[in-house]
Amino acid sequence: MWRWIVRKSDWRARGWIAGGDIEHDPPIDAVITWVDGNDPAHIAKREQFLIGSRDEAVSEATLPKRWVGANELAICVRSLERNAPWIRTVWIVTDDQTPDLSYCSDTVQKKIRIVSHHHIFRQFGDYLPTFNSICIESMMWRIEGLAERFIYFNDDFFLLNPIKKGDFFKGDKTVLRGRWKKLSKRCGEDFLKLNFYRNHKVNAGRMVEFDVNNFFSLAHVASPMRKSVLADYFRDHPMRLVDNIRHRFRVQDQFHPPSLFSNIEIVKGRALFVRRRDWFNFSSRFCTRRQYLTPMVLLLILKFARFRILCINDLNVIEARSKRFRRVLEWAITT
């Protein structure tokens, strides 16, 4: 099992990194997208716009579970405080909602800035409200005051162990996490329709004329990005931005903005790849298929194997099955 956890990925890398940090590096910010999906007002607004979007949206993109929260934001922010204290500013992007930050220390609260969708969609207000994370990802580089270099987090992304600036940016290079994948015969158009998240990443590869039969699949964890790269791309391709943000719910034709950024970095020769896998993504389904490996056991294995970046899908489902899981998770990210 240990060997399976830390096995090497199938790399076709252009370079390797060893981590490291530089005292005088430019600042690095964190951007976290968050929504209180349990808010009755948000539910009512979502249902109002869903009525006219059911035929266009992918059914999986409109399931209520996409917005149900388990206060993941609290754990995400605490993990940044403990494991990446060098983050300059933490930008939390919301749909005019105010998260409870009482769990944050005074030090972290001074770093946090709340950003409305209306701010990042300025001049594009006709496309609001949006319930589509891809649209929000397409616009987050427009935050006024955002550092050139930033790390993008979903609210269910966590830092499990201490990590350095050099594990995300190395000089003028960007450090990427993921795997090179081939689209086999079974991964034809019909398969992509069933896996719209993979389709969004393939679409991003096509936009920079990447070989989608051998494409880089960005890991679904915290990802480094550069503001100017996206600004320059969308300045040169303004209609691609509009086409990507006009859907209130996810559709097949959209592209994944972090993957677009990563593909641009690869094509430009500015990408480095981690040598030893230090990230993991698991869900309630992952552990259900492996009866011997409960979420709590897996979390402890990842902690002591020095994995540093984590995504936990369906935290509310895992907590329902294991009442102690949150306590163990909070211990893991703060120890």
pLDDT tens, residue by residue, 146-156: 999 999 999 99
- SS3 string, 281-328, reads EECHHHHHCCCCCCHHHHHHHHHHCCCCEEEECCHHHHHHHCCCHHHH
Instruction: Give yes or no for residue 14 having a pLDDT over 50.
Output: no
pLDDT exceeds cutoff 50 at 76: yes
Cα–Cα separations (whole angstroms), residue 71 to 38, 111, 134: 10, 19, 21
Mean pLDDT across 227-242? 97
Worst-scoring range by mean pLDDT, 67-71, 129-133, 254-258? Answer: 67-71
Q: Is 269 left (phi over 0), alpha (psi -120 to 50) or beta?
A: left
Each domain of the chain, given as residue ranges in start order, spans 2-334
**Residue 182 pLDDT:** 77
Summarize the confidence of residues 89-100 as an average pLDDT: 95
Q: What is the DSSP code string of 192-223?
A: HHH-HHHHHHHHHHHHTT--GGGEEEE-SS-E
Whether 218 and 176 have beta carbons less than 8 Å apart is answered as yes
| Choice between 299 and 19, residue whose per-residue pLDDT is larger | 299
Would you state the pLDDT for residue 53? Answer: 60
Kindly give the pairing relationship between strand 28-33 and strand 149-154: parallel
Residue type, 89: T
Q: What confidence score (pLDDT) does residue 24 get?
A: 63
Task: Report the pLDDT value the prediction gives residue 209, as an integer from 0 to 100.
Answer: 77
Q: Which H/E stretch holds residue 118? A: helix 117-120
Rounded to the nearest 10 degrees, the angle between the axes of helix 325-334 and helix 72-83 is: 20
pLDDT band at 56 (very low <50, low <70, confident <90, very high): low
Q: How far apart, in whole angstroms, are the C-alpha atoms of residue 45 and residue 36? A: 12
pLDDT over 70 at 190, yes or no: no
Residues 6+ apart with CB under 8 A from 140: 31, 33, 91, 93, 120, 146, 152
Per the model's pLDDT, the better-predicted residue between 258 and 55 turns out to be 258
CATH says 2-334 is which class?
Answer: alpha beta
Rg of the Cα atoms in the chain: 19
d(CA 67, CA 97): 14
**Nearest residue to 32 (alpha-carbon basis) of 85, 82, 99:** 99
Quick one: which of 114, 110, 113 has its CA closest to 94? 114
Contacts of 184 (CB under 8 A, 6+ apart): none
pLDDT-based confidence at residue 232 (cuts at 50, 70, 90): very high
pLDDT tens-digit map of 128-145: 999 999 999 999 999 999
What value does the mean pLDDT of the chain take?
A: 84
Asked whether the predicted pLDDT for residue 303 surpasses 90, the reply is yes
Residue 234 has φ and ψ, to the nearest 5°, of -75, -20
CA 82 to CA 234: how far, in whole Å?
35
pLDDT at 4 over 70: no
